[in-house]
Amino acid sequence: MIRIEAHAKVNVFLRVLRAREDGYHDLASLVLPISLADIVTVQPARELRVDVRGRRAEDVPPGGLNLALIAALALAEASTGGMGATIEIEKSIPVAAGLGGGSADAAATLVALNELWECALDAGALADIGARVGSDLPALLAGGPVLVGGRGERVEPAKVERLWWAVVTLDFPTRSPDAYRWWDEDGGNTGPSPWSILDAAERGDAETLGPLLYNDLERSVVRRHPEVGEALQALTQAGALGAVMSGSGPTVLGLARDEAHANEIADGFEGSIVAHGPP
Ligand code: ATP
């Protein structure tokens, strides 16, 4: 049995550069894994199956193919070792929330099955398979903060000192394709060059980083879902150093000075989560 923590991610900044011919968008983002995680366990079995348990299991729509299963099938196809396995996911990451939960499960599944099936694929080969499963996988396979380019397949390690966040989830999902389509429809604004953000993140300077956080998808999501804008404002009023939407939303993040400050902010938001990244 192999057990791996599948960490959620937040986007410290997310810059959308352009729509591509293939329907994807080129982007630049600082992707930061955080302490919030699902637990993925794999065991040998005759057939391949996925079981989702835990307090957020019901939020994973039944019927659709689980991303962990898609990842397992892709690994089986790419290697000679592929066989059966039971993949159990203990679900804690909010679903369709912009926290990359499905991709995190899929990335953890690739790593765990590579070991269980003795595929002996190196990190580069796993990332190639991951990129075919989902745009967020190469970043989440890296296992630490990364600067992401292309549609997500270009990944380079970044240095980030521990940052504390109040993670405020909203009770409706947003689909990534919708968020990018809205960005197109609204004329495609692109945020500033991220160098000052990277510098502040590397130093763990939350005071400087707070006002710099941005996400190019945010404005278009806020237009369609005013609750997101309200939550961002409420975070600022609650004393967050900065507030930004994560990924394609609707989760919003409040940056805190430290753990106590993050708890203080989170106290005002029902069901919010305090997390730090890197884990
Ligand atoms: P993105 O990576 O696009 O930002 P997200 O974090 O917003 O994604 P996920 O939690 O990954 O959203 O879920 C997106 C959709 O993927 C869900 O609505 C669900 O239908 C499907 N899905 C497939 N496998 C999983 C999984 N293991 N966990 C959660 N969702 C899954």
163-215 per-position pLDDT tens digit = 999 999 999 999 999 999 999 999 999 999 999 999 999 999 999 999 999 99
Sequence-distant (≥ 6) Cβ neighbours of residue 138 within 8 angstroms: 127, 130, 131, 148, 152, 153, 154, 155
Question: Model pTM?
Answer: 0.95
Residue whose CA lies nearest to ligand 1 atom number 17 = 96
Mean pLDDT of the chain: 96
CA 110 – ligand 1 centroid, Å: 16
Please indicate whether residue 97, judged by its CB atom, sits closer than 6 Å to ligand 1: yes
| CA–CA gap between residue 269 and residue 233 (Å, rounded) | 12
Cα 225 to Cα 135, 185, 220, distances in angstroms = 24, 15, 9
| CA–CA gap between residue 81 and residue 197 (Å, rounded) | 43
DSSP structure class, residue 150:
T
CA 270 – ligand 1 centroid, Å: 22
Question: Tokens in use for 14?
Answer: 């997310």
